[in-house]
Amino acid sequence: MRHLQLKARMAIVGSLLFVFYAVAATVAYAMFGGGPTVLALVLVGSVLFVGVQYKVGKWAALRSVGAEELTRGDYPHIHDRVEALSRDMGIEKPELKIARMGVPNAFAVGRKGAGTVVVSEELIAALEPDELEGVLAHELAHIANRDVVMMVLGQGIASIVAIVAQWAVLLTGDNDIADFFLAIVVGQLVQLLVMVFVLAISRYREYVADADARRAIGGGEPLASALEKISRGNERARDSAVDEQVNALCIFGQGSGLAKLFSTHPPVEKRIERLRA
């Protein structure tokens, strides 16, 4: 079975996310007095929230960077390479978009048959054709492996759990200003706890996508060289149009000094070392 370890990890994290979701639904049910009507509202409301989060997540990610259509007339070589790579990977050619992100980067959203790959103008300017091909193969691998879906759903469930935790603090407290700030802190901490599991998948999926890209283009050097240039470009850049949630989907995650446990990407040095091994 292809990528058995990734599928197993996604299954485990998916199960843990369901547990968090079930606990949040139970707490919400208790907070609003119980009963069949409340139960139905909690279940329908939470499912709709996750569904809307998934649908809106793609749109929000594209809108946050101002992504526009990457036309074949302007970039025929990119369309040709994506068509060939998509055919080799057994997926439909995704929609291609371009954005001015302030940094060289790229990300994929969506699923097989409804995917979108976004590349920054800065990335196209910084990379050689074979390096850009390596980056495109990496993003197509994310769509083929369906790991983007897990990331978006994980963020949606983390938001639900955080909202329920905040309301639990507010409804059980004295409803004063101290409870308000406590609810914010508790919500952030609970959301961070849930995201720890999602971020663990985020780091591993980068290694898998790197390996898939290496196989697709016949070697790891072009992507390794691209990661070096992307890393240097992000270090020099002062302004980035990539927000925190979209950053988790990008090929390169900008470091923020947080502990390794909370990073969205593995160290770029290790990725380059694996690609050149």
What is the per-residue pLDDT across 224-249, written as a single tens digit (0 to 9) for each? 999 999 988 776 655 555 655 566 67
Backbone angles phi and psi of 105, in degrees to 5: -165, 170
> Of the candidates 5, 4, 20, 63, which has an alpha carbon nearest to the alpha carbon of residue 200?
5
pTM assigned to the model: 0.80
Q: What angle do CA 198, 99, 129 make, to 5 degrees?
A: 95
- Residues recognised as catalytic: 139
User: Tokens 């302030």 appear where?
Assistant: 102
Backbone angles phi and psi of 183, in degrees to 5: -60, -40
Residue 177 burial by CB count (10 A; 0-12/13-18/19+): exposed, middle or buried?
A: exposed
pLDDT by residue (tens digit) across 49-86? 666 766 777 777 888 888 899 999 999 999 999 999 99
**Per-chain mean pLDDT for the chain:** 82
Query: Which residues, 6 or more positions from 170, have their beta carbon under 8 angstroms from its beta carbon?
Result: 179, 180, 183
Q: Is the pLDDT of residue 166 over 50?
A: yes
pLDDT by residue (tens digit) across 172-203? 777 678 888 888 898 888 888 888 888 777 78
Contact 131, 226 (CB under 8 A): yes
3-class SS of residue 181: helix
